[in-house]
Structure 1
Amino acid sequence: MKLFLLRLLLGLAVLMATLTIVLHLRYGGGEPYPDLSGTPLFDEGTIEVVVTSDEPIGNLAVSEDGRVFYTIHPESRPSGAKLLECVDGAPKPFPSEEAQAQFETPLGVAIDRQNRLWTIDHGNHGTGHAQLLAFDLGTGGIVHEHVFDSSVAQLGSFLQDLQVDSAGKQLFIADVSFWRKNPGLIVYDVERDRARRVLDSDASVSAQDWLIRNPTKDMTFFGGLVVLKPGVDGIAISRDDAWIYYGAMAHDTMYRIKVADLLDDSLSDGALAARVQALGPKPLNDGLSTDLDGNLLITDVEHGAVIRMTPKGELTTLVRSDKIRWADALSYGPDGWLYVADSAIPEQMLKSKTHIRAKAPYYIFRFKPGIAGVPGQ
């Protein structure tokens, strides 16, 4: 019996050591990233609080008439409404309390020029049903829905950000693929009800070996065995529908590719990858947006900042504030306002509900960057 127990303990020790090595090799490591932010163009006093929430914010979209819609971040495991509208300063389930049963883990939202609110639900990392829903903002009714099959929303996928073209006919979705480690883009044709993956695990969508150092904490877990190194996260479309911009969070370069190339399903994987263009160095980013002058707006998750990148790749820090715990999603609203969802990821990811409640409230901010954009995106 003693020999059996000794062998059992030895076997368990070997198994644990093997699992530790595998976890570290697949999910660990990471080097500090240089700070690319500079002196902000606008001081901290220009930043306004728009929404105060008891639960962590996910993504947001602001309509052309100033309506503010947002999700509660699924990593915080919300128990109540998951898609909300801020009405008279208070959260209201959108489109209704009863409609919340349609959602599993909604995160990304965008408003198209047809006055529809699009939501992307990653289906709990691909273990459930990842889906697109579009709501008419006038009636609150569902006007489009699509459930992705497992060839698109793979097990371990994380479909979490989306953009829609001006005609409302093509959607572009980022799969950050935290656990599967197969990030890529998804092109969805609304009229044909057809989705396909592109640029799977291409170097431009994949994480590099960087460690995200947020003021709240370094983004490591389980004693450093697992490091948050996300693939493609932010995605944006140029205002002329010509380009898709994207950046893997743990990556040093921003990229773009022509929309026409993404829509050309005759291109091989290699031919499509060859058409990706590098724009220049970027911060470790989450959400993106574009303005009417062709600039790219980039969040900086390490420094509570929003940075503008010109078409030539030049960077200007617009705002930087300790109040912003994790600059997440961006959305333009009317009158030149740019809205910033602060998801406070370090305070919610793999944290207890008690901890999450203790770190409330959570915020949506806004400021005027000096150049307008298209509301809802």
Structure 2
Amino acid sequence: MRVWIKSGAAVAAFLGAVCAALYLRYGGGEPYPDLSTPPVLPEEALQVAAVFPEPFGNVAASADGRLFFTVHPESRPAGPRLYEWKDGEAVAYPNENISAEGFVTPLGLSVDQQGRLWVIDHGNHGLAGARLVAFDLASGQIVHDKRLGDTGEAGSFLNDLTVSPDGRYVYIADVSFFRQNPALVVYEVASGKAWRVLEGHPSVTAQDWIIENPVKRMTFFGGLVALKPGVDGIVIDEAGEYVYYAAMTHDGLYRVPAALLNAPETDAEALARAVERVGSKPLSDGLSIDRQGNVYITDVEHGGIARLSPQGRLETLIASDKVRWADGISYSGDGYFYFTDSAIPDQMLQSKAHIESHAPYYLYRFKADIAGIPGR
């Protein structure tokens, strides 16, 4: 009996130590203040652009109005993972075989000005190797395919990406939820070289906020773990001068000169000094930008899109109770902003039965009164 008691006490002590370690590393946090304003656009301006039986991941729209999306990897899709929305239906892109078998966990998408669709596959948080793929939109052929090696290290989460206007550089956000080593990854297309920058810098690192989504307060395992991702959204301005980025659970949007990112020899301290805070933001996911430097930010707590001016003025552009989790956002040549509702609370750590029971899932669009065509 004494042996059993001692064994039970040892197990309890071990479990207590594990729980304490989890909480110290991943738990805690406070509610974030509500920064939303009365929406500029009425809810009626929000339109359903696509409907799908599985949760959407990210979206990318081309200048000629083509629309691409990923199925969110957290929902553990078994079939195709990359689609084009054509004539009112989802078509596996570029074909059924590549879409279903050619990827592990694709998520981030971006269409560049050279007519290529770029896809980042985080490789099951780096455990299967992160991969960057580009398709020529005219032919559907793969024109670039790169394994990212150490820049997509085990525990990384290469999540979102943006491409320089000249198509020479790809900038990727590493959320690094598990490893907690967030950074930006810069990839030079011609050389195939990639490097990590701003590792652990305050601008890419999650702050101690808890996301309180209307569907779910984003804590798990009895509060031991809170969803507090690092740098997520990323976009470059049309001139290719600045890369803008934001950590999901962070109160600020930042930018850094692209020219410094493009030079791997840039001193880390010099790069850190060049980081600028643009302004305050909601807890966010994806980013887009227009020619005037207004940044469009998906608001994961309030089901909509915020807009931050170059002068730091934040306003809610559009919002709806129908949106469960505003995720990726992209501007199309047809004049619409498109954004995915990835419904993270209804898929993260949920059973397939739960995910299926909360279908369908939606991709939305709206038109905003803006001057000039936004960048990518």
Contact in 1 for aligned 2:291/2:375 (Cα 8 Å): no
Q: Deviations over 1:317-358 (max 9, x none)?
A: 110111111110000001321111110100000000000001
The aligned counterpart of 1:177 is 176
SS in 2 for 1:152: helix
The aligned counterpart of 1:27 is 26
Contact in 2 for aligned 1:333/1:376 (Cα 8 Å): no
Q: How does 1:346-357 map to 2 (within 5 A)?
A: 346-357=345-356
Q: Aligned equivalents of 2:304 and 2:40: distance in 1?
A: 11
Q: 1:115 to 1:279 in 2, by over 3 A?
A: same
Q: Deviations over 1:139-197 (max 9, x none)?
A: 11100010011x21111110010000111110000000111100000000000100000
The aligned counterpart of 2:134 is 134
Q: Aligned equivalents of 1:124 and 1:376: distance in 2?
A: 30
The aligned counterpart of 1:106 is 106
Displacement of 1:264 after TM fit?
Answer: 2.4
| TM-score, normalised with respect to structure 2 | 0.98
SS in 2 for 1:273: helix
The aligned counterpart of 1:318 is 317
The aligned counterpart of 2:146 is 146
SS in 1 for 2:362: strand
- Residue identity opposite 2:267 in structure 1: S
331-340 or 199-208, which deviates more: 331-340
Displacement of 1:88 after TM fit?
Answer: 1.3
Contact in 1 for aligned 2:238/2:375 (Cα 8 Å): no
The aligned counterpart of 1:46 is 45
The aligned counterpart of 1:371 is 370
- Residue identity opposite 1:182 in structure 2: N
Q: 1:115 to 1:74 in 2, by over 3 A?
A: same
Q: Aligned equivalents of 1:6 and 1:372: distance in 2?
A: 72
Q: How does 1:66-81 map to 2 (within 5 A)?
A: 66-81=65-80
Q: Aligned equivalents of 1:300 and 1:148: distance in 2?
A: 30
The aligned counterpart of 2:86 is 87
Q: Aligned equivalents of 1:298 and 1:372: distance in 2?
A: 18
SS in 2 for 1:25: helix
SS in 2 for 1:334: coil
Contact in 2 for aligned 1:336/1:372 (Cα 8 Å): no
The aligned counterpart of 1:115 is 115
- Verify: 1:213 aligned to 2:212, yes or no: yes
Contact in 1 for aligned 2:133/2:142 (Cα 8 Å): yes
SS in 1 for 2:125: helix
SS in 2 for 1:29: coil
SS in 2 for 1:180: coil
Q: Aligned equivalents of 2:336 and 2:291: distance in 1?
A: 13
Contact in 2 for aligned 1:73/1:107 (Cα 8 Å): yes
SS in 2 for 1:313: coil
Displacement of 1:374 after TM fit?
Answer: 5.3
Flag as ranges the 4+ runs of structure 1 deviating above 6 A: none
The aligned counterpart of 1:283 is 282
Contact in 2 for aligned 1:336/1:371 (Cα 8 Å): no
Q: Deviations over 1:226-251 (max 9, x none)?
A: 00000000001111100000110100
Gaps of 5+ in 1: none
The aligned counterpart of 2:230 is 231
- Residue identity opposite 1:293 in structure 2: Q
Contact in 2 for aligned 1:37/1:305 (Cα 8 Å): no
- Residue identity opposite 2:123 in structure 1: G
Tell me the C-alpha RMSD between the 2 structures.
Answer: 1.1
Q: Deviations over 1:73-115 (max 9, x none)?
A: 0000001110001111111100001112110000000001111
Displacement of 1:19 after TM fit?
Answer: 0.3
Displacement of 1:265 after TM fit?
Answer: 2.1
Q: How does 1:168-207 map to 2 (within 5 A)?
A: 168-207=167-206
Contact in 2 for aligned 1:241/1:259 (Cα 8 Å): yes
Displacement of 1:376 after TM fit?
Answer: 8.2
Q: Deviations over 1:272-302 (max 9, x none)?
A: 1111011111100100000122211111100
- Verify: 1:256 aligned to 2:255, yes or no: yes
SS in 2 for 1:306: strand
Q: Aligned equivalents of 2:88 and 2:311: distance in 1?
A: 40
- Verify: 1:340 aligned to 2:339, yes or no: yes
- Residue identity opposite 1:103 in structure 2: F
Contact in 2 for aligned 1:331/1:375 (Cα 8 Å): no
267-276 or 212-221, which deviates more: 267-276
Gaps of 5+ in 2: none
Displacement of 1:261 after TM fit?
Answer: 1.2
Number of positions where the alignment pairs a residue of Structure 1 with one of Structure 2: 375
| TM-score, normalised with respect to structure 1 | 0.98
The aligned counterpart of 1:55 is 54
SS in 2 for 1:355: helix
Q: Aligned equivalents of 2:240 and 2:53: distance in 1?
A: 37
SS in 1 for 2:317: strand
Contact in 1 for aligned 2:107/2:120 (Cα 8 Å): yes
Q: Aligned equivalents of 2:130 and 2:327: distance in 1?
A: 21
Q: Deviations over 1:29-85 (max 9, x none)?
A: 010101111001110101110100100000011112211100000000001110001
